[in-house]
Amino acid sequence: MQVTQEVIRLIDEVLSLDGRSSTFTLDTPLLGAIPELDSMAVVSLITGLENHFGLVVDDDDMDGSTFATVGSLVDYVNSKLPA
């Protein structure tokens, strides 16, 4: 649950949602549903994930499905974290 909370907090911070993410669940749609999540915001969010979690995100790893929902983004982060 910690990763989920951190991803949601990072989404809120990067997109300047001012706490609107407090109602986000794993099923909350992201790409195409949140106007603030444009192409530049995706880049900023990736950078934030890399910095916060110590990840290295390869361009080949990312596609639109990664940002489909909060859950798909959390799953991606979890897949990159050491076991």
Contact (CB, 8 A) for 53 and 81:
yes
Indicate the average pLDDT of the chain. Answer: 94
Q: Which fold has domain 2-80?
A: 1.10.1200
Vertex 43 angle, CA 39 and 45, to 5°: 110
**pTM beyond 0.75, yes or no:** yes
Sorted by where each begins, the domain ranges of the chain are 2-80
* Span 49-78, pLDDT tens digits: 999 999 999 888 888 899 999 999 999 999
What confidence score (pLDDT) does residue 1 get?
Answer: 66
Q: First-to-last CA distance in the chain?
A: 15
In 3D space, the residue among 24, 19, 7, 13 whose CA is nearest the CA of residue 66 turns out to be: 7
Q: Is 57 helix (H, G, I), strand (E, B) or coil?
A: coil
Strands, E assignment, 7-75? none
* Span 14-60, pLDDT tens digits: 999 999 999 999 999 999 999 999 999 999 999 999 999 999 998 88
